[in-house]
Amino acid sequence: MTTEPQKNSEFPPKQHGERVTYAGSCHCKAIQYKVTHGDLRENVATECNCSICSINGYALIYIRPEDFIYETGNDDSLTQYRFNSKMNAHCFCPRCGTSVFAIAQFPGLVGLRGVNIRTLHDVDVSDIKKRKFDGKNAF
């Protein structure tokens, strides 16, 4: 289920419901982590229309740095790609190529991680509500 496209409303979206810890990883499991977020069944993931999010099929939830914990690997284990404003580091596994998350560098959002829910284990992405974000024209 996808909501109507929005011209950059509340960002990042507020979290709702009981906080739950989810395990996630890249495809090859070289990078494994846990994130804590409001119950995904009560929240929305963001689908951005910018070029990198569209190509990678991101559906993102936003995690504060303290709510993201590596089980294996670390930020240095990932390859970062920056484009356009260079204000987001899009991080992917150098071994399997999985786009795991992006790290914001925008004032007021520094360190916030946009985690790709497709990398979370035991989460049915089709059950998560999505909202469109006009990233092509946001920044």
Q: How does pLDDT run across 38-79, given as a tens digit for each residue?
A: 999 999 999 989 899 999 999 999 999 999 999 999 999 999
Domain, as residue range, for 87: 19-134
Q: Tell me the pLDDT tens digit for each residue of 91-134.
A: 999 999 999 999 988 888 889 999 999 999 999 999 999 999 88
Q: Is residue 5 assigned to a domain?
A: no
Sequence-distant (6+) residues with CB within 8 A of 124 are: none
Structural domain total, the chain:
1
The reported pLDDT for the residue numbered 139 is 62
Going by pLDDT thresholds of 50, 70 and 90, the confidence category of residue 135 is confident
Q: Specify whether the CB–CB gap between 72 and 32 falls below 8 A.
A: yes
The reported pLDDT for the residue numbered 65 is 93
Q: Is residue 47 assigned to a domain?
A: yes
Q: Is residue 4 assigned to a domain?
A: no
The position carrying tokens 């963001």 is 46
Over 60: is that where the pLDDT of 6 sits?
Answer: no
**The residue type at 53:** C
Q: Is residue 139 assigned to a domain?
A: no
Q: Give me the mean pLDDT over the 74-88 stretch.
A: 90
Q: Is residue 91 assigned to a domain?
A: yes
Q: Is residue 27 assigned to a domain?
A: yes
Q: Give me the mean pLDDT over the 8-37 stretch.
A: 90
The CATH number covering residue 39 comes to 2.170.150.70
Q: Give me the mean pLDDT over the 28-35 stretch.
A: 98
Q: Is residue 48 assigned to a domain?
A: yes
Going by pLDDT thresholds of 50, 70 and 90, the confidence category of residue 3 is very low
Q: Is residue 70 assigned to a domain?
A: yes
